[in-house]
Structure 1
Amino acid sequence: MQITPVLLCGGSGTRLWPLSRKSYPKQFVPLMGEETLFQASAKRLSGTGDGFAFGAPVVLTNSDFRFIVTEQLQAAGIDPGAILIEPDGRNTAPAVLVAALRAQAQDPEAVLLVAPSDHVVPDIEAFHAAVARGLAAIAEGQMVTFGITPTHAETAYGYLELSKAPDTAGTSVTLKQFVEKPDAARAAEMLAAGNFKWNAGIFLFRAADIIAAFKAHAPELMEPVAAALDEAEVDLGFLRLAPEPWAQAADISIDYAVMEKAKNLSVVPFDAAWSDLGGWDAVWREAGPDDNGVVVSGAATAIKCSDTLLRSDSDRLEVVGIGLEGIMAVAMNDAVLVADKSRAQDVKLAVQVLKDKGAVQATDFPKVHRPWGWFESLVVGDRFQVKRIMVHPGASLSLQSHVHRSEHWVVVEGTARVSVDGEVKLMTENESVYIPLGAVHRLENPGKMPMVLIEVQTGAYVGEDDIIRYEDVYARGEL
C-alpha cells in the first residue's frame, strides 16, 4: 500500500525564540545536529515499511517558506512532491482538508499520514512499525492517531484518554476522549493511570474517511476549502490556493473541528522516544544533559553549573555561565534569552512583549533567506548599511534597480557575474564593483561553489522595499 505523507509546515515556534522566529521558524533550523527538523521529518516519512511504501510528500506551507522547503528537501535527497501554498495560516483543519481533497481527486483510495514537520522521533523503524499497526485499523474504517507513551507528567501537551490500557502488542485502542493540557497534579494522575497518552497530532486515515468526517462535523469548511483548491494556480511548480475562498475558512485545528467529534477514531500507542521540542526545556532534555544536568551547544562554556542549558548560535558571541543552576541562556547575533528553566513555556510571552515594543527581533531572523541564498545585515546606520550576501551555485538575483541607494560590492568567496546597465563582467575574490543609484543591475553565481560578497549600501533610504524588478527567475513581485 502507498501512503502519501502530508507535512504541515507553517508554525512559528515562538517558545524557541530567539532561534525560532516567524520569518524562519524552528522546523527549518538545525536544532538537534546538522539536519533540520523538517528534513528529519521528511526522511522519517519516506522509504518503506511492513506492507507499505511512502510516496512523494505533500507539504502545506506559506509563500515565504516555499523555496526553503524545496531547498531543504533537495539537500536531504528527497524529491519534492506537491507543495501547497496557503495564502494565510488557517490552522490545521483547512490544511488537512485541502490535502485530503487533492489526494482523493487523484486516487479515490488514497491513504494519508499527516504530521507536523518539527517533531523529533529518533527511532524511525519503531515509527514505521506503528504506522503498519495503524493500517490494520484504517482497513476497518477507522481513522488513527498516534499516542505517545508519557515519560513524565508533562503539562505542555494535550492528552488522549484511551478506552482501556493498551496491550503489549501496541495494537490500536478506541479513543475515549481528548484531554486539554493539564495542571501538574492532573498530569501526575494521568501518568499513573496508564491509559493516557500524549497527543502528538499525527494522523493516519483514508482521504475518503477524513472528508466524510469533515462533511459530518465541520461542513462549513467544505465549500471554502474546496473552492480554494479548485481555483488554485500553479506557480513555478507550487500550487497557490486561491486567497479569497481560503480566507472564508474558519481558523480551527483538526482536533476541534473533527477529531474530538469523530466516533471512528482509534489510537496506536507509540512507546519510543518522541518530542515536539516545544520549549528550551525539551531541547535540554533531548540533547542529553551530562552528569551535572548541563547541556552546552555552539560557542558556550559552563563552569560549575548544574541543570542548565547554554547555547550560542553566533560564531561571534561566546556564552559563558559560572555557577548557574536551573538556567537556560540562548544567544544569537541580535538577541539573547536568559530565563529560569522552569519558565520555558513563558518564552512566547517575551515574544509578545517584544512585538508590542516594536522590536524587529520578535519576528525577524537575522539571516534573511531568499530562493537564491541569504543575506544578513552586519552594520546599519542612518544612511548606510553593510551586508553579507551568499548566493547558491547557479543562482541569480533579479534584474533590478534602486531609487534611493547606491551599492558597492566586494567578492570575498567564489566568483560572481555582475551586470550593470548592460555591461557584464566576472569578478573573483577581492575584486569590487560600484552600482550607481538607479543603475539596472543583476548578481549571479556562475560557479559550482557558494559565492559570498560584502555589500555596502549608501543613500537616503536602505530598506528592503526600495527595489524595482525588471526580470526574476523566481517570478517574485517583491523581495
Structure 2
Amino acid sequence: MSLTPIILCGGAGSRLWPVSRELHPKPFMRLGDGQSLLQKAFLRAVALPGVEHILTVTNRELFFKTEDEFREVNHGNCATSFILEPFGRNTAPAVAVAALRVAQVHGPDSVMLVLAADHLIADQVAFAAAVKQAEALARTGKIVTFGIRPEGPETGYGYIEVNGTDVVRFVEKPSLEKAREYVESQRFMWNSGMFCFTARAILREFRQHALDIFSATEACLAGSRVAEATGWTQVELEANAFAKVREDSIDYAIMEKCTEAAVVTCSIGWSDVGSWAAVSELSVPDANGNRVEGEALLHDVANCYLVSHDRLIGAVGVEDLIVIDTPDALLVANRHRSQDVKHVYAALKAQGHEAHRWHRTMHRPWGTYTVLEEGPRFKIKRIEVKPGGRLSLQMHHHRSEHWIVVSGMAKVVNGEKEMFISTNESTYIPAGHKHRLENPGVVDLVMIEVQSGEYLGEDDIVRFEDVYGRT
C-alpha cells in the first residue's frame, strides 16, 4: 500500500509578478539556494517513506520545463508520471482526474497526498510525521486536510476551525480583526491547501457533491492519449472534452460540503510564499532591515527588498519598498501592499500585454531562446540548444532568418540541403524554405538568429515534423 504524492503545478502567481508569468509561474521561481519551489516540492515528496512514484498535474505548455526541473534533482530515479491539461480548470478537476488515474494504475485504495508545487516547508521531519498521521486517517475513508498552527494573524490565508481531528468549518480570508480573534481562540488553523485521501474516498465525494466534474473528467480521461516508457508515463487530456469540465476549486467543490473531512494540525514551517514580502523574509536583513539580491548601492535606505541580477540598483532616502528588476519589467511597490501586485498583473492581462504571459527568455523542450532586440521588421534572438535537442522541421511564410553559430556545432536542414555549421559560420534561410536546427554534439549549441520580414510573430510557423509532438 504505497503512498502516491500528487503535485499540482500551475497557476499564474500574479502576486509575484514580474518574476512569475503565465508561462513561467511561481513554482519555477528559483530561491537563494538555486532550487525552484517545484524542485523543493518534488524532493519533499520523494523523501517520504513508501514513495515510489510521483504524479504531477500541469499545463501542456509547462510539461518539458517541469520534466527538466525534476531531472535536475531526481537522482534516485523515482518513477514520474504526468497529466497534462490543455488549459487550467482550477484544483477540483485536477484532483478528480488524478484520482481516476491513480485508481486505474494503483487501485482505488491507494492513498494520495495532494501537494501544491509552490509552497515551502522547512521542517521535513515534522512534515513526514503529519503525513503519517494523515495517511492513517485516510485509510479509514476520511478526506484529510492539513491545518497549520498560525504564527500570527494573517489575512492572506483561509482558516479551518478544528475540534481535535474534526473539521468544524472552513473560513475565507478574514479581516485583520477577525484573524486576531481566530488566533487568540486557538481553535483556528491556517488552511494549507494540502490533502490526503484514498482514490476511492475522494471519488466518492465527487460523485456526491460534484457529479458533473466527476463525469466530465472521467469521459475526458477515457478519450485521452497515454504514452508510456520505463519509469515514465504521460497522459495528455483531450482539449475538447476537457473544455466541458466545470472550473472549480477543491475547497468549494468538495471540502466545504464534505461530512467525512478530518484535519491534521501541525507546525511544519509552512509558507505559501504568496507575496514579495513573504519572499523577502526568506533572506537575512542587514543592520537597516534591507535585503538585497544582486548588486545595489544604498544611501539612507531602510526596510527595503531589492532584487536585480542584470543591473545595478541605486537607492537613496527610501524605506519600506520592494523593487524587483527583470530584463523587460520593473516592479516598485510599498512592502506593506505587496498583495496588491496582482492588480498590475490583471491590468497587463486585460490589455493583452505580453509581460503578463512570458519573459524575454522562453523555455522550449529543446532549450531556450532570448529576445535580445526587436524593432520594425527585425528581431534578434540568442538560441541555446541542449545536446541532442532538435527543433521541428518548419517553415515561415513572412520572415527570413540568418543563423550564426557562436559555440558548439549545428546540424542544419535548409531547403534541400543538409549541412554542419561550426563556430563563426552561418547560413541564410529564405521565407518559405523548410528548415530544421539540431545539436548533434555533447555541449550546448549557442547561436544568434536574426529575423527580418513583414511579420515576426511566433505564430508564423508551420511544423511538418516534431519529435516533441507539437505538429
TM-score using structure 1 length:
0.93
How far apart are 1:423 and its partner, in Å?
A: 2.5
Assess, with a 3 A threshold, how the Cα gap between structure 1 residues 80 and 406 changes in structure 2: closer, same or farther. farther
2:60 alignment partner, one of 56, 63, 68: 63
Q: Is the 8 A contact 1:368 1:376 kept in 2?
A: yes
What are the within-5 Å matches in structure 2 for residues 307-318 of structure 1? 307-313=303-309, 315=310, 317-318=311-312
Cα deviation code 1:210-267 (max 9, x no counterpart): 1111122222222111101111112585212233332222211111111111122221
Q: Is the 8 A contact 1:73 1:79 kept in 2?
A: no
Residues in 2 aligned to 1:444 and 1:179: alpha-carbon distance in whole angstroms: 54
1:261 equivalent in structure 2: 257
Counterpart residue identity of residue 337, structure 2: R
Aligned residues: 464
1:348 alignment partner, one of 329, 332, 342: 342
Structure 2 residue ranges without an equivalent (≥5)? none
Q: Is the 8 A contact 1:391 1:444 kept in 2?
A: yes
Cα deviation code 1:129-181 (max 9, x no counterpart): 211121222233322111112112111110111125xxxxxxxx211111100
In the alignment, structure 1 residue 367 sits paired with structure 2 residue 361? yes
How far apart are 1:325 and its partner, in Å?
A: 1.0
1:234 equivalent in structure 2: 226
Structure 1 residue ranges without an equivalent (≥5)? 165-172
1:121 equivalent in structure 2: 121
Counterpart residue identity of residue 24, structure 2: Y
Residues in 1 aligned to 2:313 and 2:392: alpha-carbon distance in whole angstroms: 39
In the alignment, structure 1 residue 329 sits paired with structure 2 residue 323? yes
How far apart are 1:379 and its partner, in Å?
A: 0.8
Counterpart residue identity of residue 292, structure 2: V
Residues in 2 aligned to 1:109 and 1:145: alpha-carbon distance in whole angstroms: 18
Cα deviation code 1:386-445 (max 9, x no counterpart): 001111111011112222211111122222222212323322322222222222221111
How far apart are 1:336 and its partner, in Å?
A: 0.1
Q: Is the 8 A contact 1:115 1:201 kept in 2?
A: yes
SS in 2 for 1:82: strand
Q: Is the 8 A contact 1:301 1:310 kept in 2?
A: no
1:201 equivalent in structure 2: 193
How far apart are 1:5 and its partner, in Å?
A: 0.8
1:385 alignment partner, one of 373, 379, 388: 379
CA-atom RMSD in angstroms:
1.7
1:25 equivalent in structure 2: 25
TM-score using structure 2 length:
0.94
Cα deviation code 1:437-467 (max 9, x no counterpart): 2222211111222211111111111111222
Residues in 1 aligned to 2:334 and 2:48: alpha-carbon distance in whole angstroms: 43
1:185 equivalent in structure 2: 177
What are the within-5 Å matches in structure 2 for residues 100-249 of structure 1? 100-106=99-105, 107-164=107-164, 173-234=165-226, 238-249=234-245
SS in 2 for 1:109: coil
1:399 alignment partner, one of 389, 393, 398: 393
Cα deviation code 1:2-21 (max 9, x no counterpart): 11111111211010000001
Residues in 1 aligned to 2:271 and 2:203: alpha-carbon distance in whole angstroms: 29
Residues in 1 aligned to 2:305 and 2:213: alpha-carbon distance in whole angstroms: 43
Residues in 2 aligned to 1:24 and 1:48: alpha-carbon distance in whole angstroms: 28
Residues in 1 aligned to 2:241 and 2:161: alpha-carbon distance in whole angstroms: 36
Q: Is the 8 A contact 1:302 1:310 kept in 2?
A: no
Q: Is the 8 A contact 1:5 1:55 kept in 2?
A: no
Assess, with a 3 A threshold, how the Cα gap between structure 1 residues 289 and 267 changes in structure 2: closer, same or farther. farther
1:283 alignment partner, one of 260, 279, 285: 279
SS in 2 for 1:328: strand
Comparing 173-182 and 293-302, the one that deviates more = 293-302
- Name the % identity: 42
Assess, with a 3 A threshold, how the Cα gap between structure 1 residues 23 and 80 changes in structure 2: closer, same or farther. farther
